[in-house]
């Protein structure tokens, strides 16, 4: 951080959660700085589904109109077991005044958020990495590295990121949305506890004539989960749980270049693997497979931080939790966390809120995530529930595109209820 411009909140991470936190702070008049170690926003994401409450949040922040041209509204979800459709969930009937969920690529969401920040005079400091973070009584001592690409080598030249500059500053508050490898979380010594076994998914995006532009499909079978989402321009995304797949550890990192990831990076998947997967896991899918523009093998972990922060450093999004991909809970609940945390910090700085609100944030989010990850309560069949849906209640919890009371309302339409 150069110059003498005042910074009251440092936002670490410029994914959707960090950008939304920054936008909330900027609209509240807070002096902030957003840093990210990467050189640009993401080009692909595993979470491409925005819950209705997230869409409403973007509307409140003045961003909804910017995302609408790229968004595909979802009207219903079909639940399948092999060849049989077991349930249809109509989303418009349950919105309760909220917009329906939408499918939206992460690059479009991040571009809209970054443009909104730019309109308020806030720029993201790309290529800036938090090297050290030391909480103190009246702030946080932060060491930032500015990264640059450098060509190195003798016989064979290659480029690598090197530290081009270092800056140490003391910042009153840090809002860390720096992902599942969060340096802020590790600096605080907060445990990131595994809450269940990891899941491996094969993800394919391809052009097809067989994907209804209003429907999401969820397959619950003996091999695991599979799901399909409609995308714009005649494409769709299928994700198949592959219990025997062991992808590269690095495959959890998001692609940062706006090009397809080639087979040399993720050799476990090839275009020709898609038709057999569709035939075996979704024999009812009648669409043709045309251009495959993205394929990747991904390891999804389920983890929960033991705390959502302490003192003057607080966590949101993947820095605090990891979940499966189908219900897109980690990103969407992360967006709500970003809004709540940013509003709380703005209130504390303005003198209208007490720091005790941060302890309340910690308690609320720990309780919510213990439910979403199936550690406490969960879903159970209500009287008269279909036996198949009753048997799938634990898996359905992670597939519903909602949280809080909206999730309970969706579950109720399937004959399921929140266990108390």
On the 0-12 / 13-18 / 19+ scale of CB atoms within 10 A, 233 is exposed
The band of 415, judged by pLDDT with boundaries at 50, 70 and 90, is: very high
pLDDT given at position 164: 74
pLDDT at 95 over 70: no
Domain ranges of the chain: 9-48+107-191+306-372, 198-300, 380-418
Plot region of 343 (φ>0 → left; ψ -120 to 50 → alpha; else → beta): alpha
Backbone phi, psi, residue 23, to 5°: -65, -40
Residue 234 has pLDDT above 80, yes or no: yes
Q: Do 9-48+107-191+306-372 and 198-300 come out as alike in CATH topology?
A: no
The fraction of the chain above a pLDDT of 90, given in percent, is 77
The answer to whether residue 266 scores a pLDDT higher than 70 is no
Asked whether the predicted pLDDT for residue 45 surpasses 70, the reply is no
198-300: which CATH number, 3.30.9.10, 2.40.160.10, 3.30.465.10, 3.40.50.2300? 3.30.9.10
The whole-number pLDDT of residue 38 equals 86
Compute the distance between CA of residue 351 and CA of residue 194 in angstroms, rounded to an integer. Answer: 38
* Residues 6-38 pLDDT 10s: 999 999 999 999 999 999 999 999 999 999 998
- Judged by average pLDDT, the poorest of 218-227, 250-259, 354-363 is 250-259
**What is the per-residue pLDDT for 157?**
53
**227 band by pLDDT with thresholds 50, 70 and 90:** very high
Does the pLDDT of residue 51 top 70, yes or no? yes
Per the rule left: phi > 0, alpha: psi between -120 and 50, beta: everything else, 417 is beta
How many angstroms separate the CA atoms of 63 and 46, rounded?
A: 21
Q: What is the pLDDT of residues 349-388, one digit of tens each?
A: 999 999 999 999 999 999 999 999 999 999 999 999 999 9
The whole model's pTM is what? 0.91
Number of other residues whose CB lies within 10 A of the CB of residue 25: 28
Residue 260 banded pLDDT, cuts 50, 70, 90: very low
Burial of 117 (0-12, 13-18, 19+ CB in 10 A): buried
Lowest mean pLDDT among 107-121, 241-255, 288-302, 374-388: 241-255
First to last CA, the chain: 48
- Phi and psi based region of residue 283 (left: phi greater than 0; alpha: psi -120 to 50; beta: remaining): alpha
- Which pLDDT tens digit goes with each residue over 239-254? 999 987 754 444 444 4
Superfamily assignment of 9-48+107-191+306-372 in CATH?
Answer: FAD/NAD(P)-binding domain (3.50.50.60)
Mean pLDDT of the chain: 90
User: Structure tokens of 400?
Assistant: 């519903």
pLDDT of residue 261: 32
Between residues 255 and 399, which one has the greater pLDDT? Answer: 399
CA–CA separation, 102 vs 383, rounded Å?
32
């Amino acid at each position: 951080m150069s110059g003498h411009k005042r910074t009251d909140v440092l936002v670490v991470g410029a994914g959707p959660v960090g950008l939304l936190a920054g936008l909330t702070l900027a609209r509240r008049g807070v002096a902030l700085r957003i840093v990210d170690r990467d050189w640009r926003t993401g080009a692909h994401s595993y979470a491409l589904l925005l819950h209705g409450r997230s869409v409403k949040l973007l509307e409140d922040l003045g961003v909804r109109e910017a995302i609408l041209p790229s968004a595909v509204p979802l009207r219903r979800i079909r639940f399948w077991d092999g060849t049989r459709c077991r349930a249809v969930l109509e989303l418009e009937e349950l919105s309760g005044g909220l917009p329906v969920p939408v499918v939206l690529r992460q690059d479009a969401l991040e571009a809209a958020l970054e443009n909104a920040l730019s309109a308020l005079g806030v720029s993201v400091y790309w290529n800036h990495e938090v090297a050290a973070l030391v909480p103190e009584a009246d702030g946080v001592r932060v060491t930032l590295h500015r990264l640059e690409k450098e060509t190195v080598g003798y016989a064979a030249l290659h480029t690598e990121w090197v530290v081009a500059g270092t800056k140490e500053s003391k910042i009153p508050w840090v809002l860390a949305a720096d992902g599942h490898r969060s340096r802020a979380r590790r600096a605080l010594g907060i445990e990131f506890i595994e809450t269940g076994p990891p899941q491996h998914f094969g993800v394919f995006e391809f052009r097809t004539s067989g994907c209804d532009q209003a429907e999401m499909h969820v397959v619950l079978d003996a091999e695991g989960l599979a799901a399909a989402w409609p995308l714009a321009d005649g494409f769709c995304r299928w994700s198949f749980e592959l219990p025997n797949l062991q992808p590269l550890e690095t495959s959890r990192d998001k692609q940062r270049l706006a090009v397809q990831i080639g087979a040399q990076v993720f050799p476990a998947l090839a275009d020709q693997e898609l038709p057999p997967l569709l035939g075996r896991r979704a024999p009812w899918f009648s669409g043709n497979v045309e251009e495959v523009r993205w394929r990747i093998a991904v390891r999804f972990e389920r983890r929960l931080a033991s705390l959502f922060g302490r003192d003057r450093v607080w966590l949101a999004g993947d820095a605090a939790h990891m979940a499966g991909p189908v219900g897109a809970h980690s990103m969407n609940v992360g967006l709500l966390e970003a809004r709540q945390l940013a509003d709380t910090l703005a209130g504390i700085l303005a003198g209208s809120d007490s720091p005790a609100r941060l302890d309340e944030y910690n308690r609320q989010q720990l309780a919510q995530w213990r439910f979403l990850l199936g550690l406490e309560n969960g879903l159970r069949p209500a009287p008269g529930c279909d036996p198949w849906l009753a048997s799938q209640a634990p898996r359905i919890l992670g597939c519903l595109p909602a949280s809080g009371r909206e999730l309970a309302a969706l579950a109720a339409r399937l004959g399921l209820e929140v266990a108390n």
